[in-house]
Amino acid sequence: MVQKKRIGIMGGTFDPIHYGHLVTAEAARHRFELDQVIFVPSGRPPHKLSHQLTPAAERLLMTLLATVPNQNFVVSDWEEKREQISYTYDTMLAFHQHFGNEAELFFITGADAVLEIMQWRRIDELTDFCSFIAATRPGYRLDDFQASPKLTAKLFFMEVPALAISSSDIRRRVAQGEPIKYLLPETVEMYIYKHGLYKEEKN
Ligand code: NAP
């Protein structure tokens, strides 16, 4: 019998991508025996429509720069290219249709995002063809989190110490002239300074 391919879809705003994200993807790849992790920088995420995000094309470029050294990581511009709001259901359905039933899909993201997951569009239908890996920061507590039985069966939590690094802290550091070296790949650091990103604190 042919083994199903196991594909991780790493969803996030990645504004900017940092070592916490990269360590999360690599840890998920190892623990869940994934053949490949596809990074999908969000286009217009539904919960951030009023936020001033860095343009999706720039977040995509930084994600490309960061993932080049890992042969198991690839980047998709699927959400970046879409005009519409990026619901995870639509994104995962597109990947499901692309890979067919020969692949098992795992959506990887931060546990903070997953806390609201029961409000996500068509979440119970999504569990028909997708599992979820939620990365937590050390000391993270999930006391009040409740999910439907269908989702609970498909949701895995994974503690990632490197997630002490956060995109919001990196943006704040750049705006305040503090160093960001060793928090993210050097190529991404260079891109940020070369293009003058995060000079002002926005949100
Ligand atoms: P967020 O709300 O900005 O992030 C929540 C937390 O998770 C932050 O601490 C963030 O850290 C962390 N995080 C985000 N992505 C991560 C990843 N891939 N690995 C590890 N930690 C991660 O979340 P977001 O980035 O905007 O959204 C996460 C994903 O959920 C996106 O793909 C988004 O489209 C999806 N989502 C879908 C719906 C929906 O379909 N209705 C609703 C909400 C979110 P950093 O700030 O350091 O990244």
Domain spans, the chain: 5-165
pLDDT digits (tens, 9 = 90+) for 21-46: 999 999 999 999 999 999 999 998 88
Nearest to 121 by CA among 87, 150, 97, 146: 87
* Residue 101, token pair as written in the block: 């039933």
| Number of the ligand 1 atom closest to the C-alpha atom of 88 | 40
- 127 in Cβ contact with 96 (< 8 Å): no
Residue 114 pLDDT? 87
Residue 190 pLDDT? 98
Residue 144 pLDDT? 79
Q: Assess whether pLDDT exceeds 90 at residue 83.
A: no
- 10 in Cβ contact with 42 (< 8 Å): no
Confidence of residue 64 (pLDDT cuts 50, 70, 90): very high
Q: What percent of the chain has pLDDT over 90?
A: 80
Of the listed ranges 9-18, 26-35, 45-54, 155-164, the one predicted with least confidence = 45-54
**Taking the model in full, what pTM does it have?**
0.96
Nearest to 184 by CA among 175, 176, 173: 173
CA–centroid distance, 3 to ligand 1, in Å, is 30
Domain 5-165 has CATH 3.40.50.620: yes
Residue 203 pLDDT? 56
Rounded Cα–Cα distance for residues 116 and 112 (Å): 8
Residue 48 pLDDT? 81
Residue 116 pLDDT? 87
Q: Assess whether pLDDT exceeds 80 at residue 2.
A: no
Which protein residue's CA is at the shortest distance from atom 28 of ligand 1? 12
Residues with CB under 6 A from ligand 1: 10-13, 20-21, 24, 42, 45-48, 86-89, 108-110, 112-113, 120-121, 135, 163, 166-168
Q: State mean pLDDT over 140-158.
A: 88
- Mean pLDDT over the full length of the chain: 94
Q: Assess whether pLDDT exceeds 60 at residue 79.
A: yes
Which protein residue's CA is at the shortest distance from atom 27 of ligand 1? 12
Q: State mean pLDDT over 87-114.
A: 95
Rounded Cα–Cα distance for residues 131 and 156 (Å): 8
Of the listed ranges 68-82, 89-103, 107-121, the one predicted with least confidence = 107-121
Confidence of residue 201 (pLDDT cuts 50, 70, 90): confident
CA–centroid distance, 72 to ligand 1, in Å, is 21
| Number of the ligand 1 atom closest to the C-alpha atom of 120 | 41
Q: Assess whether pLDDT exceeds 70 at residue 80.
A: yes
CA–centroid distance, 11 to ligand 1, in Å, is 7
